[in-house]
């Protein structure tokens, strides 16, 4: 926690692009929540390699309000009490990646889409592989639900958190994970 917050003072404002983080435990493993003052910038997996999502994280700040709200909403999601997130997001990526990530936000809870469907949705029907690459670099897992994107034949395909985590998230959303909906 930063010193100003420990002393009860308002923390200094982060300049846009300054990133802070906190770790949280979840049913799918430890997650690293990353934020700017503009919004949530990342939900990363403990197993993430350094090249999947490149964020220059400045400091740990477990009390940052964006991180605290993200943790609260994720806990509600995993407890079966939240179907949509109301967090302000601060995506960092190319224009194409951001277009794909915003398309992910339109996939309803409990439903899936194929890479081809996302490519068509964003106006690039021949870009299924590029959509897959952008999906794989999604910095805000779970909230920008890349786990809802599956292969054309309905099979589970690559996922940064691993296929077991992807299967768990999809089961959670369809009521097959033993949680109340």
Active site residues per annotation: 146
Separation between Cα atoms, residue 56 and residue 47, nearest integer Å: 17
Intra-chain end-to-end CA distance of the chain, in Å: 34
Write out the chain in H/E/C secondary structure.
Answer: CCHHHHCCCCCCCCCCCCEEEEEECCCCCCEEEEEECCEEEEEEECCCCCCCCCCCEEEECCCCHHHHHHHHHHHHHHCCCCCCCCCCECCCCCHHHHHHHHHHCCCCCCCCEEHHHHHHHCCCCCCHHHHHHHHHCCCECCCCCHHHEECCCCCCCCCCCCHHHHHHHHHHHCCCCCCCC
Neighbours of 24 (CB within 10 A): 15
Separation between Cα atoms, residue 117 and residue 131, nearest integer Å: 10
């Amino acid at each position: 926690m930063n010193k100003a917050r420990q002393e009860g003072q308002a923390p200094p404002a982060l300049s846009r692009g300054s990133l802070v983080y906190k770790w949280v435990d979840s049913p799918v493993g430890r997650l690293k929540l990353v934020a700017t003052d503009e919004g949530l910038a990342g939900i990363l997996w403990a197993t993430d390699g350094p090249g999947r999502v490149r964020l220059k994280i400045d400091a740990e700040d477990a009390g940052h309000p964006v991180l605290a709200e993200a943790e609260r909403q994720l806990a509600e999601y995993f407890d079966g009490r939240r179907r949509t997130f109301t967090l302000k997001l601060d995506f960092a990526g190319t224009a194409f990646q951001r277009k794909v990530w915003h398309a992910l936000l339109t996939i309803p809870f409990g439903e899936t889409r194929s890479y081809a469907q996302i490519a068509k949705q964003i106006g690039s029907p021949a870009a299924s592989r590029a959509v897959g690459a952008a999906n794989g670099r999604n910095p805000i897992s779970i909230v920008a639900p890349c786990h809802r994107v599956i292969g054309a034949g309905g099979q589970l395909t690559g996922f940064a958190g691993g296929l077991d985590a992807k299967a768990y998230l999809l089961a959670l959303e369809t009521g097959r994970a033993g949680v109340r909906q």
